[in-house]
Amino acid sequence: MTKQIINSKKAVMVGCGFVGSASVFALMQSGLFTEIVLIDADKNKAEGEAMDISHGVPFASPMKIYAGDYDDAADAAIVIISAGAGQKPGETRLDLVNKNVAIFKSIIPEIAKRNFAGIMLVVANPVDILTQVAIKLSGLPENRVIGSGTVLDSARLRYRLGEHLSVDSRSVHAFIVGEHGDSEVVAWSSANVSGVPLSEICEMRGHYKHKKTRKK
């Protein structure tokens, strides 16, 4: 089997829903790629989103954005999987497992059989489980299949902390760890603002006071 050539400036998005389309728009603005391909079960949807986003190129870096198919994934540096059933009211992310595993079974093997040699990024829910599913279905090594994990959760935490403390959220360093879902937790002990522990900042600002006791 010949070694696949990777185009380091090419990205593929599989799934053109809200997350997929917003991500492609962000990639267009970033200028990281010169070629972005959109793939969706609804080809018309992919073509429409590609055209809309392409109209922003005059205000960004030169690039080609178009609707394609799985053959376009062969030489891509990264394939992002955002396809999947949406979370309905009352459903947990774990409730989506069966539906989205079935969808992945129709997507991942198609990418794998093109001798894909890049990185696969999973952003569909439940992301932790589907990332493991993608590893098994693709046959790719674990270091080339990545889940978005708790990146969004951590970003939301940093923003809210910055808002609460009236500081630039870019200076807030805090992380949510664990599964992207109801079981995730905040790593409060490592949270800080520009290196100053969050506990010290809260104490200085009087958000809470330590109660000291002494033996009589």
The structure tokens listed for 211 are 């109660």
Active site residue 207: no
Distance CA 123, CA 195 (A): 30
**CB-hemisphere CA count at 13 Å for 86?**
8
- H or E element in which residue 121 lies: strand 119-122
Distance CA 154, CA 133 (A): 24
Contact 76, 36 (CB under 8 A): no
Of the residues 164, 173, 180, 207, only one is catalytic, namely 180
Which residue, 9, 133, 117, 7, is CA-closest to 63?
9
Contact 144, 120 (CB under 8 A): yes
The bridge status of strand 76-81 relative to strand 64-67 is unpaired
Q: Which residues contact 94 (CB under 8 A, 6 or more apart)?
A: 126, 129, 181
Which residue, 80, 107, 81, is CA-closest to 11?
80
- The residues annotated as belonging to the active site are 180
